[in-house]
Structure 1
Amino acid sequence: DPTSASPPPELPKPPRPPALPDAPGVAGPAAGVAASRRSPLPAGSLGRLSETSPSRRQLAVLEAMQHSWKAYELYAWGKDEVHPLSKSSAVWMGAGLTLIDSLDTLMIMGMSQQVAKAREWVATQLNFDVDKPHTNVFETTIRLLGGLLSAYHLSNDSIYLDRALQLGERLLPAFSSPSGLPYSDINLHTGQASNPVWTVESSTSEVSSVQLELRELSRLTGRPEFADAADRISRVLHSADKKDGLVPIYVNSVTGRLHNGGTVSLGAARYYEYLIKQFVQAGKSRSFEYLRDDWLAAMDGVAKHLVRESQPHRFKFVGELLGGTTFSPKMDHLHLRLAEQLMRTCYITYTTTATGLAPEITHFNTDAASVADTYVKPLDRHNIQRPETVESLFYMWRVTGDRKYQDWGWAIFQAFEKYTKVQPAGYVSISDVTNARNPGKRTKCESFWFAETL
């Protein structure tokens, strides 16, 4: 009962995997700092363990990270993104995006040599004085600022907090709009913040999901201005005119008004995710109960307006409201965290393709005469190694202890291994999950493949 004054009972903890033989380098997230000082396992060490063993699965993912990181070191060291297929790199933010976003994964997996090399780059080469007029505030906050704060938490190394503070100071002008909602873009060199010239509207998802990082930066540094900026965002959106707790996908960052009559979707709406996470981050403080209440209202709204069943097998899914009123049976591959039936549906979007990998968007049939529950449009067939479904599997495993979620995650990992791995190093996105013979490997690898999916 979320309204009860007493704390909920602690969820049962699933059994931990057995210790790894001759494998001092593999550790769970709780290992923290100690893990970052250990040596990774040598390649080719999987043969001693059965495929279904949790230990073997851990080792396989570790080897995938080693293979991925090798490509970054070879082709893109210090750059934002690696393109393993063309053996090249790309600049997006100009601040070592993949390196910073991946620090916590390297530490958790015990890749100590790689951590040491990355730390040296952060200490001597990282520079946020980048003269680019349209650096995305949201992506910079969650990937760079969040990456540095995560690294600090796992290592207690002040260099990461120092760099996080430097970045936070450069981001602050983006939160100086009349409404308090952040502008979408900033020049980190000049401090000039703006929305694109063609619109005053911003993504509701983006402006509403930077508060965790800002509040944590204030907590760690004692500097209140970051938490103050986060509070302004939360209060503006709390007071906005919503439909049963649901928000449209665009908001006017100047006035703070939601674009009512626009599409309502969970597809990219991290707004909902950050509501409940802010409440938890604040220790479920009374002063943050309004965020919990907004989240509860939104979940009731989701159940009322967005949840449907496909035909003929009645898979639960979350659709969209087009124009705020017309239901669309379309489900994006982002943050579908509604319980077991939705988790099953998310997994189905993987298992029903030829490659075993989900498309970016899946459409559902709701007509009783339908032969198949789902279909994929040609422009939606790509997979860019997104983490949301496997993250949800991880939550479901932690909450229930049901090993089927581990098995589902392992099946997805094996599909990534088969269809996205390239030699001599790296993994890439693919263009067509429906074509097992020629899925169309793309050259690019997203930073969240390292930071989240693995």
Structure 2
Amino acid sequence: LLISNNTIFLVSKNNKIYIYIFFLEFDEAREWVSTSFNLDHYKDVNLFETTIRVLGGFLSAYHLSGDSLFLDKALDIGSRLMPCFIKSPSPIPYSDVNLISHMAHSPKWSPDSSTAEVSTIQLEFRDLSRSTGTQNFENVAFKVSEHIHTLEKPNGLVPIYINPNTGKFHRGSEIKIGARGDSYYEYLLKQWIQTGKSIDFLKDDYLEAIDGIITQLVRTSPKRNLTYIGELKAGSRNFHPKMDHLVCYLPGTLALGVHYGMPSSHMRLAEKLMETCYRMYADQPTFLSPEIVYFGTNTDVNQDMYVNTNDAHSLLRPEFVESLWYMYQISGNKTYQDWGWLIFQAFERHTKVAGGFTSIGNVLDPEDTRPQDMTESFFFAETLKYLYLLMSDDRHMLSIDKYVVNSEGHPLPINNR
């Protein structure tokens, strides 16, 4: 099957292999891409996932190796994704497309697209345009950002669903920094950096959003004073003290912003969030974070941070180790290396199996972790890559002054325009 696990693994891992300087493995991966990677299958793919994982992987491999084979593959996949934009009646693209028929459509379960998904493709499509000289890729992707900029956003925060037919947010949908909302905020900053800090509205929207997060979503737990980010429920927009592991990307993004001149108060928030994300690991008997944690409120002081059994699984997600890398590269504080090493040891103890690593169904009991016999591609493309970079003797092995890293861990060059 096209873009099966093996295919995504190999494409997502290409630039990781090159960073590791395992030249034999890189050559083997290149040979597979040259002879076996095939897009001619009658299969629907997701615009967002294919962009950040496959398109981003090819572009990054091209920039790190200079090998035009990867740019050719990137151009092919980028062209096949274009109907998502072209066939939408608004600047908001459809979420899925068939690689043979070129039929683009919303997901089967909803007429809406995820806000994070449609706003987390711009780095890749811009880089594809600037690498190939074909401007239309950047144009259609950036129109999404321009359009969202014009929409009403309470306190700079976006609902997590947006409709490609109307171009409007789904009224009353949740507001959160975790699933389906997260990388909208990340790519505001990273687009601004990628374009040499030349597009003012991206910076303005980012600053407004961070202010909105601070005033609307940041809370402190009653017992240990852990700073966390909650959600606003659908419909009522009442506060919900729930935090996805996905939110742990934010301290790294905040630190990156401070590195590029954002307010120093953002770093203080980043440091507090890092402590909370660390506790999401350290509080568990396995030293592995669950998918979601909940926090007690001032009226519920018997519980501080707790885990529901339905949320106790671990997909070996990268967000916290990504933030560890950013925080260490920017601050030089070796505590972040120490935390990363503890997490890696927990991966080794509880998730390593013959031939690789596996997601687990239960982080609450070291004797009953319930291995899931599956591994997400982001474990290789991001989690292990960020751990490798974090532990490298060269703190600036991958310089954040030269590269902006996409949402799947693939570095792309910074331009001055």
Whether TM exceeds 0.5 here: the answer is yes
Partners of 2:170 and 2:3 in 1: CA distance: 37
Report the counterpart of residue 280 of structure 1 in structure 2: 193
3-state secondary structure, aligned to 1:331: strand
Report the counterpart of residue 266 of structure 2 in structure 1: none
Report the counterpart of residue 406 of structure 1 in structure 2: 337
Partners of 2:103 and 2:188 in 1: CA distance: 29
After TM superposition, the structure 1 stretch with the greater mean CA deviation from structure 2, 158-167 or 318-327, is 318-327
Report the counterpart of residue 326 of structure 1 in structure 2: 238
Report the counterpart of residue 147 of structure 1 in structure 2: 57
1:80-124, Cα deviation, whole Å (9 max, x unpaired) = 326xxxxxxxxxxxxx11100000111111221111111001111
Any runs of at least 4 consecutive aligned residues in structure 1 with deviations exceeding 6 A, and if so which? none
Report the counterpart of residue 406 of structure 2 in structure 1: none
Pick aligned residue for 2:290 from 342, 351, 359: 359
Report the counterpart of residue 369 of structure 2 in structure 1: 439
Please give the root-mean-square deviation of Cα atoms over the aligned residues, in Å.
1.4
Distance 1:110-1:332 versus aligned 2 partners, 3 A rule: same
Pick aligned residue for 1:384 from 291, 315, 318: 315
Cα distance, 1:79 vs structure 2: 6.5
Cα distance, 1:325 vs structure 2: 2.2
Pick aligned residue for 1:271 from 156, 165, 184: 184
Partners of 1:290 and 1:284 in 2: CA distance: 10
Report the counterpart of residue 429 of structure 1 in structure 2: 359
Which runs of 5 or more structure 1 residues have no equivalent in the other structure?
Answer: 1-75, 83-95
Query: In the alignment, does 2:33 pair up with 1:122?
Result: yes
3-state secondary structure, aligned to 1:308: strand
Report the counterpart of residue 170 of structure 1 in structure 2: 80
3-state secondary structure, aligned to 2:337: helix
3-state secondary structure, aligned to 2:381: helix
Query: In the alignment, does 2:211 pair up with 1:300?
Result: yes
3-state secondary structure, aligned to 1:244: helix
CA contact (8 A) 1:428 1:443 kept: yes
Larger of the two Rg values belongs to structure: 1
TM-score (norm 1): 0.78
* Count of aligned pairs: 361
Report the counterpart of residue 4 of structure 2 in structure 1: 80
Pick aligned residue for 1:159 from 63, 69, 92: 69
Identity of aligned residues (%): 48
Report the counterpart of residue 201 of structure 1 in structure 2: 112
Cα distance, 1:198 vs structure 2: 4.7
Which runs of 5 or more structure 2 residues have no equivalent in the other structure?
Answer: 252-268, 385-417
Partners of 2:19 and 2:284 in 1: CA distance: 32
Partners of 1:102 and 1:369 in 2: CA distance: 45
Partners of 2:169 and 2:337 in 1: CA distance: 39
Cα distance, 1:442 vs structure 2: 0.9
Query: In the alignment, does 2:250 pair up with 1:336?
Result: yes
1:38-70, Cα deviation, whole Å (9 max, x unpaired) = xxxxxxxxxxxxxxxxxxxxxxxxxxxxxxxxx
Where does 1:181-330 land on structure 2 (aligned, <5 Å)? 181-268=92-179, 269=181, 270-285=183-198, 288-323=199-234, 325-330=237-242
1:365-402, Cα deviation, whole Å (9 max, x unpaired) = 12365234211111100000110000001111111111
Residue 330 of structure 1 aligns with an amino acid whose one-letter code is: K
Residue 72 of structure 2 aligns with an amino acid whose one-letter code is: D
Distance 1:198-1:372 versus aligned 2 partners, 3 A rule: closer
CA contact (8 A) 1:100 1:147 kept: yes
3-state secondary structure, aligned to 1:113: helix
Residue 167 of structure 1 aligns with an amino acid whose one-letter code is: I
CA contact (8 A) 1:240 1:256 kept: no
3-state secondary structure, aligned to 1:164: helix
CA contact (8 A) 1:311 1:368 kept: no
TM-score (norm 2): 0.84
CA contact (8 A) 1:179 1:236 kept: no
Cα distance, 1:260 vs structure 2: 3.3
Residue 373 of structure 2 aligns with an amino acid whose one-letter code is: T
Partners of 1:221 and 1:380 in 2: CA distance: 43
Cα distance, 1:196 vs structure 2: 2.6
CA contact (8 A) 1:312 1:368 kept: no
1:285-325, Cα deviation, whole Å (9 max, x unpaired) = 1xx11011000000000001000001211100000001362
3-state secondary structure, aligned to 1:336: helix
3-state secondary structure, aligned to 2:287: coil
